[in-house]
Amino acid sequence: MEMMTVKIKRFDGRNSYYQKYEVPYEKGKTILWLLTTIREEQDPTLNFTSACRHAICGSCAVQINGNAFLACNTPLDDVLETYKTMNLTFEPLKNFEVIKDLVIVWEPKMEKMTKVKPWIIPGEEGSKEIGFLQSEEDFQQIAAPTDCILCGVCASECNQLAVNQDGYLEPFILNKAYRYIVDTRDGAPEQHLKPVLENDLWKCLHCMQCVSQCPKTIPLTDQIAFLRSATMAMGELDNQGAKHAYAFHDDVKNKGRLNETMLPIKTDGLVQTALTKIPFALRMVKKGKINPLHMPKQISGIQEVRKLYEYAEEVKS
């Protein structure tokens, strides 16, 4: 029988260590199946969270071999195949406080989210008695962002957040702000927008890690671009961040000057994306959006950077 070696990062509140489990491989299972099997058949002390087991409750996200995934809707075979290994390493999501094993705490994130007033500030046209009118097109604006299941994958992947936990907002928080800014029923979009600007909106690195891993394929970076232009429309054009961000974008695209511009970043976002965009590709392949044979293999110069941008554009569309 073929065995998988599964290493899981354990944490008991004080100490953390890696524990190894050998699990017989089975075809056609999910990552959640793997974790559940270990827990029920080998080690009932292993803790992780899950509830709906069909990608709607957002509780089961974990890191596998360095990338964040939703455990319940990620096919085990896809992961084994893409990483070309029978060895998997599980860790809790990054950029979250861990309580035990793979279990993380959400309250601090929700506390942080209140900064953007993550609730509707009802416009005057509506009332509790009759609700609102909203056109189909206007509903479409909020259809994608309200897909967010607060799973934390984007936050775990975010390269800016990794170095700027206090200053930067989690991509799902930006998404929430966006969701109310574009909601025609909201009467005070600036109240959601202002805090976004005040919290380092311009520091997004456009590394695309958040979008590439989001299990709901929410166009987070498009939204960030929108938020930026919205803040400029609000008369914030002069701010240092705006200038810097545009320079950054153009630089990278034209000259491929990666290292210089991205010096302050712990991990080099773009290169990281190129090397580890495996899961990204995985999902896109599955949905028939890209041909796996046409993927750039490694970054070695400006052509690759451009390709990466084109690729990113392609996938966004």
- Residues of the shown chain interacting with ligand FES in the complex, contacts defined by CB under 6 A: 50-53, 55-60, 70-72
CA dihedral 243, 271, 162, 58 (to 10 degrees): 110
Q: Tell me if 153 contacts ligand SF4 by CB under 6 A.
A: yes
Report, in Å, the least distance between residue 2 CB and ligand SF4. 32
Give CA–CA dist 41/31, Å, rounded. 15
Q: Residue 208's closest CA among 154, 250, 156? A: 154
Pick the closer one to another protein by CB: 44 or 235: 44
- Residue 10 bridge partners (DSSP): 17
Out of 6, 158, 177, 197, point to the residue binding ligand SF4 (CB under 6 A).
158
Pick the closer one to ligand FES by CB: 47 or 50: 50
> Could you tell me the two tokens for 186?
């909201």
Report, in Å, the least distance between residue 31 CB and ligand SF4. 15
Give CA–CA dist 179/144, Å, rounded. 9
Q: Residue 206's closest CA among 145, 251, 237, 167? A: 251
Q: Tell me if 154 contacts ligand SF4 by CB under 6 A.
A: yes
Out of 46, 72, 171, 272, point to the residue binding ligand SF4 (CB under 6 A).
171
Site string for ligand SF4, 29-68 (x = CB under 6 A): ----------------------------------------
Out of 84, 128, 294, 297, point to the residue binding another protein (CB under 8 A).
128
Q: Tell me if 196 contacts ligand SF4 by CB under 6 A.
A: no
Q: Residue 132's closest CA among 77, 173, 183? A: 183
Q: Residue 100's closest CA among 8, 213, 7, 4? A: 8
Out of 1, 17, 27, 135, point to the residue binding another protein (CB under 8 A).
135
Q: Tell me if 182 contacts ligand SF4 by CB under 6 A.
A: no
Q: Residue 177's closest CA among 237, 222, 117, 112? A: 117
Q: Tell me if 291 contacts another protein by CB under 8 A.
A: no
